[in-house]
C-alpha cells in the first residue's frame, strides 16, 4: 500500500546552504499493518510523511500509495490517504459537523454519503454530544476527535499519523491509540511517526529508525531488539543511532 524508494529531500538554506532533510529513505507498509517511523525531532519523519502525502515533492526518489505514483498523480494518491497530526488546525467558527462535512465536499463526496459517514464516525468516536458545537469551544481531546473524523470521512485505505499524540492528555492519547488499532483491524495500511518508543512498541508491526535524514534500521520490534542486544526499544534506538 505504501512504498518509498530512495526518497530524498534537499532544502536550500541561506546560512547553511543545502540541507538534506531526508537522504535515501526506502521502506514498505502493508495493508492491515502499522509501520512505525521512529526518530527524534528533526530526524526527517515529518518531511518523509509530507512527501508520501503529496504535500512536498521529492528532490529525488519515488513513492507509491496503493500503486499510484505520488509525484505523477498526486490527486489520485491524495484521495487514498487520511493524514492526522498533533496539530488539529481546525476552523474555529465551524462546528464539528460542519468541519467534517466541508472536508467530505472537498473530496467530492455526495451529500447523503457524507451524512452517513458522519453519523458512523461520530458514533464510533462518541462525538454526537458536541457535533454542533463550534470548534473554538471544544477541549483539546474533542478537537482531536474532529481532526480524526475529517481525516477519515472519505474512508481512505491508507492512514498517515504524524506525531498524533504530542501534547495530548492521557485520555486523548488513548483515543488516538485506539483509533490506530481500529484502522489496523479494518485492514487499512497505517504509517505512524513518533519519538515515544513505548507507543511504537505497543502499536507497530514493523518499525524503521530514522536519524539525521537517514534510515538506520528496519524490522519488527523483536528483530530490532535482537539485533541491538537490548531489552527495550528506547535503549535499542540509542544504540543503533550511536549516541
| pLDDT band at residue 197 using 50, 70 and 90 as cut-offs | confident
Spatial distance between the Cα atoms of 128 and 139, rounded to a whole number of angstroms: 15
Q: What is the mean pLDDT of the chain?
A: 90
Classify residue 213 by burial, with Cβ atoms within 10 Å: 0-12, 13-18, 19+. buried
Identify the three-state secondary structure at position 71. coil
| pLDDT band at residue 10 using 50, 70 and 90 as cut-offs | very high
Which CATH homologous superfamily contains domain 2-80+157-241? P-loop containing nucleotide triphosphate hydrolases (3.40.50.300)
Nearest to 215 by CA among 5, 1, 2, 12: 5
- Say which range, 91-105, 157-171, 185-199, 217-231, has the weakest mean pLDDT: 157-171
Spatial distance between the Cα atoms of 24 and 60, rounded to a whole number of angstroms: 9
Classify residue 125 by burial, with Cβ atoms within 10 Å: 0-12, 13-18, 19+. buried
Contact 11, 22 (CB under 8 A): no
Look-up: residue for cell 481531546?
141
Residue 102, number of CB atoms within 10 A of its CB: 14
Classify residue 243 by burial, with Cβ atoms within 10 Å: 0-12, 13-18, 19+. exposed
pLDDT per residue as tens digits for the range 128-155: 999 999 999 998 888 888 988 998 999 9
Task: Report the pLDDT averaged over residues 186-192.
Answer: 91
| pLDDT band at residue 167 using 50, 70 and 90 as cut-offs | confident
| pLDDT band at residue 243 using 50, 70 and 90 as cut-offs | low
Question: Where along the chain do its domains lie?
Answer: 2-80+157-241, 89-155
β-pairing verdict for 189-194 and 17-29: unpaired
Residue 222, number of CB atoms within 10 A of its CB: 8
pLDDT at 242: 83
Task: Report the pLDDT averaged over residues 41-63.
Answer: 92
Spatial distance between the Cα atoms of 30 and 206, rounded to a whole number of angstroms: 10
The phi and psi torsions of 65 (rounded to 5 degrees) equal -115, 115
| pLDDT band at residue 169 using 50, 70 and 90 as cut-offs | confident
* DSSP state, residue 129: G
Amino acid at each position: 500500500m505504501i512504498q518509498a524508494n530512495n526518497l530524498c529531500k534537499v532544502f536550500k538554506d541561506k546560512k547553511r546552504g543545502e540541507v538534506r532533510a531526508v537522504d535515501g529513505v526506502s521502506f514498505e507498509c502493508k495493508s492491515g499493518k502499522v509501520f512505525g517511523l521512529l526518530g527524534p525531532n528533526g530526524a526527517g519523519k515529518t518531511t518523509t510523511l509530507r512527501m508520501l502525502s503529496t504535500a512536498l515533492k521529492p528532490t529525488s526518489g519515488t513513492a507509491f500509495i496503493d500503486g499510484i505514483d505520488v509525484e505523477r498523480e498526486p490527486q489520485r494518491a491524495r484521495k487514498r490517504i487520511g493524514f492526522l497530526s498533533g496539530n488539529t488546525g481546525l476552523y474555529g467558527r465551524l462546528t464539528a459537523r460542519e468541519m467534517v462535512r466541508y472536508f467530505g465536499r472537498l473530496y467530492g463526496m455526495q451529500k447523503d454519503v457524507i451524512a452517513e459517514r458522519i453519523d458512523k464516525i461520530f458514533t464510533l468516536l462518541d462525538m454526537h454530544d458536541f457535533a454542533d458545537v463550534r470548534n473554538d469551544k471544544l477541549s483539546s481531546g474533542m478537537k482531536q476527535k474532529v481532526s480524526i473524523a475529517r481525516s477519515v470521512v472519505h474512508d481512505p485505505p491508507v492512514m498517515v499519523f504524524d506525531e498524533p499524540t504530542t501534547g495530548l492528555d492521557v485520555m486523548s492519547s488513548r483515543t488516538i491509540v485506539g483509533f490506530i488499532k481500529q484502522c489496523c483491524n479494518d485492514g487499512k495500511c497505517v504509517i505512524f511517526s513518533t519519538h515515544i518508543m513505548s507507543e511504537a512498541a505497543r502499536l507497530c508491526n514493523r518499525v524503521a529508525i530514522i536519524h539525521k535524514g537517514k534510515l538506520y534500521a528496519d524490522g519488527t520490534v523483536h528483530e530490532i531488539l535482537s539485533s541491538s542486544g537490548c531489552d527495550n526499544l528506547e535503549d535499542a534506538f540509542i544504540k543503533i543511532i550511536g549516541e
